[in-house]
Amino acid sequence: MANKITAIILHYNRQKNIPKVIAGIRAQTVPCDIWVWDNSGNYPVGSGEDVYLKADKNTFCLARYLLIKRVETEYIFNTDDDISILDNKLFEKFIAFSERHQNAVIGWNGRKFHKEINWEKPYSYPNIGSGGGWVDWDEKEELLLDVINFGVSFLPTRLLKDVPLDPYTGEFKISEIEFKHSDDIWISKIMGDIGIEKRVMPFNLKPLFEWLDEGKVAISKQSPHMTMRDGLCKRWWRAKYD
């Protein structure tokens, strides 16, 4: 029987993390295909992946969206290369939730906006309150977010299979530097406009993962990161809540 999930690992200069990342995926009670997208060219090929794809240059997070077109499994699990799964039933839980909410994309965490938040810093400092702000996890399954963090995410492949996903052309065109720092904000905007639900993880993930060394290459540690994210959130969501 074919596997139901394709796990996509985004790799950039974190070779020493790969054995743990892959081991956590292989230990799942739901078998899956493992695809690796290598943005740095130094991935240790043969570490247990099923498919290896090497980019000609660092394409940032574009693989998460390009590969949706090629995946044939029912679900996709996205992960960065600095976290390892500790709970071997995590994929079971994801599938159970997706069966209850068939048009939902589950994200690591995210933002829920409202008209009273700080629109100068809607992502980096939204001011929690009145149903808005930063959301890590919530036991309420009806909770819908404006922005989800796609770094760890789970979704039915069919939701985005036929959607044009190119950040550099079309209605939601953004610059390369904006995409580098804000790919999940870009995809959240597209999903919202075409009616795909966005939900925070329905259970607390923190005890279910081991955080690995992110090194000095993390985009989140680079100075334009929050400025870019704040700017796009303000551009795309403020008018909705004013």
> Do the Cβ atoms of 184 and 151 come closer than 8 Å?
yes
Q: Does residue 57 register a pLDDT over 80?
A: yes
The model's confidence at residue 119, banded by pLDDT at 50, 70 and 90, is very high
Higher pLDDT, 206 or 100: 100
pTM for this model (two decimals): 0.93
Query: How would you classify the pairing of strands 51-54 and 32-38?
Result: parallel
Q: Does residue 221 register a pLDDT over 80?
A: no
> Do the Cβ atoms of 183 and 64 come closer than 8 Å?
yes
Q: Does residue 220 register a pLDDT over 90?
A: no
pLDDT at 242: 82
The structural domains of the chain, ordered by start, are 5-241 (3.90.550.10)
Percentage of the chain surpassing pLDDT 70? Answer: 97
CA distance 234 to 196: 21
Higher pLDDT, 131 or 94: 94
CA distance 207 to 21: 16
What is the pLDDT of the chain when averaged over all its residues?
91
Out of 172-176, 219-223, 231-235, give the one with best mean pLDDT. 231-235
| 84-96 residue pLDDT tens | 999 999 999 999 9
Structure tokens at 61: 């997070």
